[in-house]
Amino acid sequence: MIIKSYEVKKNKSNFQKNNFFLLYGENLGLKKDIKDFITTEIKQQNNSAETLSLYESEVLDNEDIFFNLIYSGSLFSKTKIITIYETSDKIVKKLNDTYNKYPEDVFLIFFSDILEKKSKLRNFFEKNTKTVCVPCYLDSEIDLEKIAQ
């Protein structure tokens, strides 16, 4: 499912129904703000949520660590929020495996640069029902004018 960046705060219900989020584009500040908003919404439901961060290269180099983070329990919290930075099409196979097993209390947030329309990662998030895809592009002059008014 695709959600425009300005609609994220209006559609809070998406964060209770979906566990997989892709934030892509060139606007790093907007991606960070949306990630913080998603994390805050999840922590409001479960205030003991554990937050973890990885890079795609770490996931690809040692997939056992990645799957252990997702599927093993935690002593401190029931819910996990895992952010994976610098993602590309290389991670789609592992993402698909995780999606098929669908861990209930694990939320995955993927950060990526600009993705082409043909990108496997982008297509995965746009076509699956339990995923959210948020493009984060730089503001145009028209957008800035609307904000200023």
Q: What is the mean pLDDT of each run of 10 residues along the chain (149 residues)?
A: 76 73 86 85 79 88 83 75 88 84 83 87 85 79 61
Query: Who contacts 120 (Cβ-Cβ below 8 Å, separation ≥6)?
Result: 89, 92
Predicted local distance difference test score (pLDDT) of residue 130: 83
As a whole number of angstroms, the distance between CA 145 and CA 135 comes to 20
pLDDT at 17: 77
Let me know: does 56 contact 86? Beta carbons within 8 Å: yes
pTM above threshold 0.85 = no
Determine the distance from the C-alpha atom of residue 144 to the mean position of all C-alpha atoms in its chain, rounded to a whole number.
Answer: 26
Sign of CA pseudo-dihedral 113, 120, 11, 40: negative
Phi/psi of residue 87, each to 5°? -80, 155
Q: Which residues of 81-115 are buried (b: 16+ CB within 10 A; e: fewer)?
A: bbbbeebebebbebbeebbeeeeebbbbbbbbeeb
Residue 136's pLDDT is what? 84
What is the Cα gyration radius of the chain?
15
14 CB-side CA count, 13 A: 21
What is the per-residue pLDDT for 148?
A: 66
